[in-house]
Amino acid sequence: MPTFRQDFIRFALAHEALRFGEFQTKAGRLSPYFFNTGLFNDGASLQQLTQFYAQAILASNIPFDMLYGPAYKGIPLVAGTAIALAGQGHNIPYCFDRKEAKDHGEGGNTVGAKLQGRILIIDDVISAGTSVSASIALIRAAGAVPCGVVIALDRMEQGQGKLSAVQEVQRSYGIPVVPIATLDDLLAYLQEQAGMVQNLQAVQSYRDRYGVKND
């Protein structure tokens, strides 16, 4: 795997944003691991997290003109990623949406740069694709073009059918979804850790039961 993916897994574990145990998912499944970007909740961890987003974006080679982050988790992610990209010589405009349109001042339902051109969506994870669908609708309504989605972790598990939520988004909208890391990256990391055999077996069993294959 690319070095930054393994580094990201290690980083998430160190900040306990990635944990092992028994956790119930929205689908009612008992997952042996839990991941939440909301636990990167200080300046240093957010800075490092968005550096990983920037690395994943640059490695993807997706052509884009600006970044968009859906409220609420996408707001710090998109701002931090824009800063991280600027630090690497890529000064990219960004914006995020309001939960309710503003009817005074500058008005509108977004904050930041005007939505135009090719838009790369920055989000945390894709569970059911609801947030992405709303983002794409807003982007298209502004006359811009969604060109991809970047997320922190792809759980690579079945959604309502045989496809994962990520695969559903890719099929429905014809745009790539780029994760910083995937469940397979987590498994590859665990295979190298002598003290995590039990976690490896639990995650592999979950993958075997609910997982999907990459396209």
Buried b (16+ CB within 10 A) or exposed e, 43-80: eebbebbbbbbbbbbeebebebbbbbbbbebbbbbbbb
Q: What is the DSSP letter of 169?
A: H
Q: Is 90 annotated as catalytic?
A: no
The one catalytic residue in 104, 114, 162, 213 is: 104
- Name the H helices within 63-182: 74-87, 130-141, 165-173
Q: Is 104 annotated as catalytic?
A: yes
Alpha-carbon distance of 13 to 130, in angstroms, equals 27
Alpha-carbon distance of 76 to 192, in angstroms, equals 33
- Name the H helices within 105-176: 130-141, 165-173
The one catalytic residue in 90, 102, 114, 213 is: 102
Transcribe 25-75 into DSSP letters. Answer: -TTS-EEEEEE-GGG--SHHHHHHHHHHHHHHHHHHT---SEEEE-TTTHH
Active site residues: 102, 104
